[in-house]
Structure 1
Amino acid sequence: MMTELQTSGNGPRWRPYPAYKDSGVDWLGKIPVHWKIIRLKYIAEVPKIKLMEKPDDLTYLGLEHVESKTGRLTLETPVDEIDSIVAVFERGDILFGKLRPYLAKVYLANFEGTCTTEFLILRANNRVVQKYLFYQIVSEGFINLVNSMTYGAKMPRANYQQIINIYILIPPEEEQSLIISFIDLELKKIDDLVAKKERQIELLQEKRTALISRAVTRGLDPNVPLKDSGIDWLGHIPAHWEVLRLKFLISFVTSGSRGWAQYYSDEGALFLRIGNLSRISLDLNLDEVQFVEPPAGAEVDRTRVGKDDVLISITAYIGSIAVIEKDIGEAYVNQHIALTRPLSLKVKPKWLGYALLSEIGQHQFRILLYGGTKDGLGLDDVKDLFIFLPPPKEQETIVSFLDQETAKIDALITKIRESIERLKEYRTALISAAVTGKIDVRGADIYPKDTENAKE
């Protein structure tokens, strides 16, 4: 990481400390001569408070609420199931995700709340500044070391006793504060750049939605004759199209069973949750998956996902959609997802997916939830959704057009995301270099002037 940060030309050139010593710890290597090393358990305690259920007045955090590597909260992410036993954390505590630690889900709490027991809660004592310890724990070296200690193939998990015995680098307290200020300043520059690029992605996604909405409400012929749909808020549609409720276009609709948390496992069948669906794309997002060893019986057969099924989120982040275009092996849905099975002679699965993803489709979900009197949809609500329906061959033509055009937009989005990923890698390298003493942050002259040119 040191060579990546000490670039030539117009980029930032970082100054090392004047003298180093061998830390005696393999993964730390050489450290500044005046720094100390100490096991984590001597500078932070592990609170053991657990509750049998979440209090209504305390926010709950699952692993899905913490963004990888940045420590930012994403509270809008839906919770599929709150653990039956929750841990309690205080303001200033550090939450470290023990499950799949390579994801680096670490959060410095700025409020009191409850969380899944998949977080290890660390409470810093007066020997270390809280935020400095947070940066130490989210650093690449620490994460890699913890990841090397995991057990379980598909759901790797770290043992907290091993984590708290890891050595932590401790500079003098004043220097800890300087390191915090340095990292905060540099990360703001990087995060501002990331925010600009994320806005570019939002604009492209809006363009994508507009493209889909136009195609599934007007078709591809700009001169096609129109007729009144017969439904005020739906407006006009091509004269040869129909408007049918979803229940006439599917052979089957169901949702998953409750209480499957007891069947969670490190391997087995896929258990699809709301986070695996999207309002942007029809593809499943399998970046983070849960596995189950399902029980035998009719409930299992009923909730099993098949090729060409269309999935719809019906609680929390309502209106997320996925189309199962290929065989994904044994997979099931949880109780927050409606599984629909289209009648292929009437409606093509991807047409149905695009129709639900369009502005008209999403508008219907908003109408059903208008006023906040409902926290989810029932299966009857799903069956009563209106779908615009051209003839099957025209559905195929429009789907093919949308696949091609959205792929072009997705390619642009992918390039921007790759740029964001490079900035995040630089972000990670910067934190690691600062908290391991590879760069000396003492003195204002070490601050680079042009982070953007350095990594763009």
Structure 2
Amino acid sequence: MELYKNFKDSEIQWLGKIPEHWKLDRIKNIGSVKARVGWKALKASEYVKSGYFFLSTPNIKKVDIDYNNVNYITKERYYESPEIMLNNGDILLVKDGSTLGIVNIVEDLKSKGTVNSSIGVLRLKNQHNKYFFYFLKSNYLQNIIGLKKEGMGVPHLFQKDINNFILTIPPLKEQSQIANYLDSKTIAIDKKIKLLQQKVKYFKAYRKTLINEVVTKGLDKNVKLKDSGVKWIGEIPEHWEIRRIKDIFNTLAGGTPSTGESSYWVGDIPWIPSGAVQNGEVNKDIVKSYISEEALLKSSTKMARKDSILIALTGATCSNIGYLNFDTTINQSIVSIDSNHKKVSHRYYFYFLISARDKIRTLMTGGAQGGINQGDVKYFKICACSKSEQQQISDYLDARTSTINKIVENIQIQIKTLKELRKTLINDVVTGKVKVST
């Protein structure tokens, strides 16, 4: 790409030099920022089945605004805030919470709508709105917005903050050229990203299907099958059996040493909460806390041995499965499954429980913040086959899933690279680091 011939110092940190013929100004001098404030704040109880759509943060976080999964408000609520009645070209900026800084632009508006109190509506006078949409997405401005996320409490951008953002302002014709160029380039990049994301989805689905098939049917495609008597398992090899976890394994749940005893938390014994169990290998690099021998002896925490299988019992991680690669103590939201039996391959049953995760999750009670009873885990039904078959299956799945995981990892690296390229391209073009050819 070309470079501009003449530059001047913007005297602004992170922005540096800009093309000599570009101007700088604050949003308040070339446009307006409006938002729903004060007593006009809406409550969920006021939503109606149809009417005027009402955008919230999840509706604007993707490439295209989601006009389908929206709430609706009455005509009265819509018309009481004319300053935020949406028009094509309006730039939307999330100004509250952890998603602070998300930007989108209203295009192809097909009905009347407005926004909630977390979204600011930016309108610029005699400017090309799409150029400034890209400018708000630039690394330069996102870094400024990012400063507001630091510190205590919920991050928030006040309208005065947004009004004082300093923008680079090329001539209007150049704004249009830049916006058109970035439309073309970002659409092409987004298409590549979408295709790669579809590949990731395919390989993850394939991995899941592969595991489900092999742990319940084995590797011999010619083996005679019989009904397992368990609906979700279906047919199994004729010589296999259905057992319960308690018939093969010992199970134990952990605990949390008292945080009031400082001596409990000075030691070299690893201790992990359920958040450490993330459907896969549980490695020592996730350990954040260590406890003392005294804590192990005097509290309800338990030691889970290396090669045992962990199941998270509560909350957001409930039903997550992990294969433990080191000895550690665990908290009360984890159950450890372990066996000293010589005829048991822990690795096979790790894959079996991975395949059973959706079924295990149905044991949850108490809603999203509820959990699974350890007793239900003990009586959960599993397949039982010979140690040699277990070993063959686990070796096969180790190899196959490792290959699939590497493919997924490589694709995700490509996606990350494209996303970074997109960010860099937008930033360099809207801040004048490179020139769009006319």
Question: Which of the five TM-score ranges fits, normalised by the shorter chain?
Answer: 0.5 to 0.7
Alignment equivalent of 1:24, drawn from 1, 5, 11: 11
**Equivalent residue, structure 2, for 1:55:** 44
The answer to whether the 8 A contact 2:309-2:322 is kept is yes
**Equivalent residue, structure 1, for 2:267:** none
- Residues 295-334 of structure 1: matches in 2 within 5 Å? 308=308, 310-311=310-311, 321-326=320-325
The residue identity in structure 2 corresponding to 1:282 is G
2-side partners of 1:253 and 1:54: how far apart? 42
1:422 and 2:417 are equivalent in the alignment: yes
Q: 1:323 offset after TM fit, Å?
A: 0.5
The answer to whether the 8 A contact 2:34-2:122 is kept is no
The residue identity in structure 1 corresponding to 2:251 is S
1-side partners of 2:233 and 2:208: how far apart? 17
Alignment equivalent of 1:126, drawn from 119, 124, 127: 124
**Equivalent residue, structure 1, for 2:208:** 209
Pick closer, same or farther for the CA change 1:59–1:40 going to 2, 3 Å. closer
Q: Deviations over 1:381-400 (max 9, x none)?
A: 96465322335564354323
Q: 1:247 offset after TM fit, Å?
A: 6.6
- Residues 433-452 of structure 1: matches in 2 within 5 Å? 433-441=428-436, 446=438
2-side partners of 1:349 and 1:282: how far apart? 13
Pick closer, same or farther for the CA change 1:30–1:350 going to 2, 3 Å. same
Pick closer, same or farther for the CA change 1:148–1:367 going to 2, 3 Å. closer
- Residues 265-304 of structure 1: matches in 2 within 5 Å? 282-283=280-281
2-side partners of 1:18 and 1:30: how far apart? 12
**Equivalent residue, structure 2, for 1:84:** none
**Equivalent residue, structure 2, for 1:95:** 94
Query: Equivalent residue of 2:242, what SS?
Result: strand
Query: Equivalent residue of 2:44, what SS?
Result: coil
Q: 1:187 offset after TM fit, Å?
A: 0.9
- Residues 193-208 of structure 1: matches in 2 within 5 Å? 193-208=192-207
The answer to whether the 8 A contact 1:147-1:158 is kept is no
The answer to whether the 8 A contact 1:95-1:108 is kept is no
Pick closer, same or farther for the CA change 1:29–1:363 going to 2, 3 Å. closer
Pick closer, same or farther for the CA change 1:271–1:124 going to 2, 3 Å. farther
Pick closer, same or farther for the CA change 1:37–1:313 going to 2, 3 Å. farther
Pick closer, same or farther for the CA change 1:430–1:409 going to 2, 3 Å. same
Pick closer, same or farther for the CA change 1:247–1:49 going to 2, 3 Å. farther
Q: Deviations over 1:21-63 (max 9, x none)?
A: 3222242222233322234576564847489997264776479
Pick closer, same or farther for the CA change 1:304–1:432 going to 2, 3 Å. farther
The answer to whether the 8 A contact 2:226-2:237 is kept is yes
Q: 1:431 offset after TM fit, Å?
A: 0.7
**Equivalent residue, structure 2, for 1:108:** 104
The answer to whether the 8 A contact 2:226-2:235 is kept is yes
Q: Deviations over 1:53-89 (max 9, x none)?
A: 97264776479x957xx7988x99xxxxxxxxxxxx9
Pick closer, same or farther for the CA change 1:430–1:417 going to 2, 3 Å. same
Pick closer, same or farther for the CA change 1:26–1:435 going to 2, 3 Å. same
The residue identity in structure 1 corresponding to 2:402 is A
Q: 1:366 offset after TM fit, Å?
A: 9.4
2-side partners of 1:318 and 1:330: how far apart? 18
Q: Deviations over 1:325-353 (max 9, x none)?
A: 246989879xxxx7432143477665444
Query: Equivalent residue of 2:124, what SS?
Result: coil
**Equivalent residue, structure 2, for 1:431:** 426
- Residues 1-40 of structure 1: matches in 2 within 5 Å? 6=1, 15-17=2-4, 19-39=6-26
The answer to whether the 8 A contact 1:311-1:323 is kept is yes
**Equivalent residue, structure 2, for 1:190:** 189
The residue identity in structure 2 corresponding to 1:206 is A
Q: Deviations over 1:179-233 (max 9, x none)?
A: 3332122111111122222233333223322321232012234455544312355
Pick closer, same or farther for the CA change 1:97–1:143 going to 2, 3 Å. farther
Name which one, 1 or 2, has greater alpha-carbon Rg: 2
Pick closer, same or farther for the CA change 1:375–1:158 going to 2, 3 Å. closer
Question: Using CA pairs below 8 Å that are at least 6 residues apart, which structure has the higher relative contact order?
Answer: 1
Pick closer, same or farther for the CA change 1:234–1:25 going to 2, 3 Å. closer
1:344 and 2:339 are equivalent in the alignment: yes
2-side partners of 1:406 and 1:157: how far apart? 41
The answer to whether the 8 A contact 2:25-2:169 is kept is yes
The residue identity in structure 2 corresponding to 1:209 is K
Q: 1:250 offset after TM fit, Å?
A: 6.2
Pick closer, same or farther for the CA change 1:149–1:367 going to 2, 3 Å. closer
The residue identity in structure 2 corresponding to 1:94 is L
2-side partners of 1:129 and 1:205: how far apart? 42
The residue identity in structure 1 corresponding to 2:227 is D
Q: 1:407 offset after TM fit, Å?
A: 0.8
2-side partners of 1:254 and 1:90: how far apart? 54
1:179 and 2:178 are equivalent in the alignment: yes
Pick closer, same or farther for the CA change 1:212–1:309 going to 2, 3 Å. closer
Q: How big is the alpha-carbon RMSD for the aligned residues of Structure 1 and Structure 2?
A: 5.4
**Equivalent residue, structure 1, for 2:217:** 218
The residue identity in structure 2 corresponding to 1:216 is V
1:387 and 2:382 are equivalent in the alignment: yes
The residue identity in structure 2 corresponding to 1:199 is Q
**Equivalent residue, structure 2, for 1:265:** none
- Residues 394-413 of structure 1: matches in 2 within 5 Å? 394-413=389-408
Q: Deviations over 1:110-159 (max 9, x none)?
A: 675668xxxx754324346654444223222333455578756xx99977
Pick closer, same or farther for the CA change 1:181–1:352 going to 2, 3 Å. farther
The answer to whether the 8 A contact 2:302-2:329 is kept is yes
**Equivalent residue, structure 2, for 1:137:** 136
2-side partners of 1:399 and 1:197: how far apart? 29
1-side partners of 2:188 and 2:277: how far apart? 32
